[in-house]
Amino acid sequence: MEMKEFHYEDGLRVSLFNLDHEAVPYHFHDHVADIMYCARGRITIELPDPGQAYSVGAGEVFQVPDRSRHRFFNGAPVGTPSRYVLLQIGSFDITFLPDAEDIAERFADLPVAPVTDGIVHVGDRKGDILALADRFEQDKPQGLTTDEQADVVRALRSLAARGVDATDPRAVVGP
């Protein structure tokens, strides 16, 4: 797994993850939601509290509400890399869970629901997200390849296009 965190200012944090077949460990955030765009391959998201798992294919979006325990992993066949772009709005925080193996065992035989036509909660930040996409299109963030740059720009535009100003991000979780 390779994480590239390249933007964190004005309450917007953008990271890119290239996943082999290692999972991002179970964790949660108290103050930000994980808003993700699958750029390549397939990403599986496990949410232990409702006991649900979701599969997000290339070009799709998904949001994990704040305070929800979760993890991301490559849901594509072994040997196929996957990539996702993560947007977080607000003050970043993270808490990793110590009982990850126990949690993972509960998902062994759980069906995975495909996500299509997802929407995400972006509040009143659509304009800021689009401006950031324009900025990254003109000026490649340090540490990103040209392909990664294109994926980030596409991701931010997609997240803005599918973003809603919901009163509660939990209203937009799910397929």
24 lies in which domain range? 2-172
Q: Tell me the CATH number at 31.
A: 2.60.120.10
Q: With H, G, I as helix, E, B as strand and everything else as coil, classify residue 101.
A: helix
| pLDDT, tens only, 68-91 | 999 999 999 999 999 999 999 999
Reported confidence tier of residue 172, pLDDT bands at 50, 70, 90: very low
Q: How many domains does one find in the chain?
A: 1
CA distance 62 to 45: 9
CA distance 34 to 27: 11
CA distance 77 to 21: 9
CA distance 84 to 68: 19
Residue 166, pLDDT score: 65
Residue 121, pLDDT score: 92
Reported confidence tier of residue 175, pLDDT bands at 50, 70, 90: very low
pTM: 0.90
| pLDDT, tens only, 130-151 | 999 999 999 999 999 999 999 9
Does position 10 have pLDDT exceeding 50, yes or no? yes
Reported confidence tier of residue 36, pLDDT bands at 50, 70, 90: very high
In this structure, what are the phi and psi dihedrals at residue 51, rounded to the nearest 5 degrees?
A: 70, 45
| pLDDT, tens only, 18-33 | 999 888 889 999 999 9
